[in-house]
Structure 1
Amino acid sequence: MNENLFASFITPTLMGMPIVIIIIMLPAAIMTSSKRLVNNRFHTFQQWLVKLIAKQMMMIHSSKGRTWSLMLVSLIMFIGSTNLLGLLPYTFTPTTQLSMNLGMAIPLWAGTVLLGFRHKMKSSLAHFLPQGTPIPLIPMLIIIETISLFIQPLALAVRLTANITAGHLLMHLIGGATLALTIISPPTAIITFTILMLLTILEFAVALIQAYVFTLLVSLYLHDNT
């Protein structure tokens, strides 16, 4: 049972080789670039969405922080499209893998921290020791603040992994129950199928919200260090 339940989270392979790289590149192929004088509706919607995301993310940033606009817009578009891709039948969701999410979170977090130490050394070091701290508590607070700093990328990755994985597992369980109840009790199967449809709509919202939350937290880390 456990093997079947978690089978959808196993990285797919082709002739013994993992094809997760091809899957990760698939959302980028969906993003079109028009070379015509008049754009089509999809490309116009895509441009509007990119401008909206850039405006929301860059509103609080200084000129140094706005140099990250392309990175943040690309990040939210990639995570959102990857999460939505995993809701299609017979597909694989790369963001359910903690290793991939850590691979995104750690470099982005490290970049913001290094940027802070480069441009705002005193302010970055001041976060480790709040003003007015009693002398006996100084070593303990420095240790706590250091641990909280290094937990940030882990929290980013675990939050995204847990939310996407939990939703997929719940859909898998309710879908299996609906399939079994179609023979045993059709009226009950209709109820569970309705719940499954509502959960699917919720998962579409969660896929986009988690992409926004991940990128927003990276943006806030950047704002604190620029």
Structure 2
Amino acid sequence: MNENLFTSFMIPIVLGVPITTLIIMFPTMLFPTPNRLINNRTIAIQQWLTKLTSKQLMTTHNPKGQTWSLMLTSLFLFIASTNLLGMLPHSFTPTTQLSMNLGMAIPLWAGTIFIGFRNKTKMSLAHLLPLGTPTFLIPMLVMIETISLFIQPLALAVRLTANITAGHLLLHLIGSTTLALMNISLLALITFIILTLLIILEFAVALIQAYVFTLLVSLYLQDNT
């Protein structure tokens, strides 16, 4: 009986209860916390990466936008850790679920839009109609811009889901091919090298997709503050 390719993307259930919540909370245990005056190397590297990411995200923001720095940094660390969690053998990647990614994208997008309409009502409404638009095109362009505005959270969630799912499927297929070609040493070696390089690439993609998701939310916030 062949194994289903999408088995690793199914939510694990123990005694009829989904354990997604426990899986999502697990990566937080991997972040060390300082418990003494002098930090160790792991905590120092963690703090350096956190400060570097926060600086890159908040450089172009005004003081109102910089109040979101803690939330955006926490979002980046959460998505990156859950993406990396899926690289462990026999593990489950929460970010392969579109419902979870929509649950992150929609509230953050709605928050930035609400801030824009509250603080910059005229400018937010002006984004729906480009300057110099002919009169007869105004209704159509307003409709198009409104639809594109509401598509933003869906694009955020689908981008993250598609990239993580595609990478894991490719790893599964290459790994299965390597096992099937174990009797042919040369081909098995080639596929194993490809699999090793692909695993390194997936580690990079896990971090890059977390940064892209957070960066796009940061850009939406920048346009509305």
TM-score range normalised by the length of the shorter chain: over 0.9
Match of 2:126 in 1: 126
The TM-score with structure 1 as length reference comes to: 0.97
The letter for the 2-side match of 1:96 is T
Q: Output the amino acid matched with 2:28.
A: A
The 3-state SS of whatever aligns with 2:133 is: coil
Describe the superposition over 1:76-118 as per-residue Cα deviations: whole angstroms up to 9, x where unpaired: 0111111111001111100000000000000000000000001
Q: Are 2:17 and 1:4 aligned?
A: no
Q: Secondary structure at the match of 2:125?
A: helix
How many Å apart are 1:3 and its aligned residue?
5.8
2:186 paired residue number = 187
Task: Write the mapping of 1:137-152 to structure 2, written as runs, cut at 5 A.
Answer: 137-152=137-152
SS at match of 1:60: coil
Partners of 1:49 and 1:25 lie apart in 2 by 21
CA distance in structure 2 between the partners assigned to 1:141 and 1:169 by the alignment? 39
SS of 1:182's partner is coil
After superposition, the C-alpha distances for 1:107-140 in whole angstroms (9 at most, x for unaligned) are 0000000000010000000000111110000000
Q: Is 1:40 aligned to residue 72 of structure 2?
A: no
- The one-letter amino acid of 2:185's match is P
Post-superposition CA distance 1:130-165 (Å, at most 9, x none): 111100000000000000000000000000000000
Tell me the amino acid that sits aligned with residue 134 of structure 1.
P
- Cα separation, 2, equivalents of 1:113 and 1:190: 52
1:197 aligns with 2:186: no
- Alpha-carbon displacement from aligned partner over 1:36-72 (angstroms, at most 9, x marks no partner): 1111111111111111111111100000000100000
Give 3-state SS (helix, strand or coil) of 1:61's partner: coil
Structure 1 pair 2–168 and aligned structure 2 pair: CA distance change class (3 A)? farther
1:2 Cα deviation from its structure 2 partner: 8.0
Determine the structure 2 residue equivalent to 1:113: 113
The answer to whether structure 1 residue 219 and structure 2 residue 218 are counterparts is yes
Gaps of 5+ in 2: none
SS at match of 1:64: helix
Is residue 164 from structure 1 mapped to residue 169 from structure 2 by the alignment?
A: no
Structure 1 consecutive aligned stretches of length 4 or more whose deviation exceeds 3 Å: none
Letter in 2 for 1:205: A
1:111 & 1:214 partners in 2: Cα distance?
A: 15
Query: Secondary structure of 2:90's match?
Result: coil
Paired residue secondary structure (1:212): helix
* Secondary structure in 2 matching 1:39: coil
Quote how far apart the aligned CAs of 1:35 are. Answer: 2.3
Percent sequence identity is: 71
- The gaps in structure 1 that reach 5 residues or longer are none
| Structure 1: distance between partners of 2:124 and 2:3 | 46
Q: Where do residues 11-90 of structure 1 align in structure 2 (5 Å cutoff)?
A: 11-90=11-90
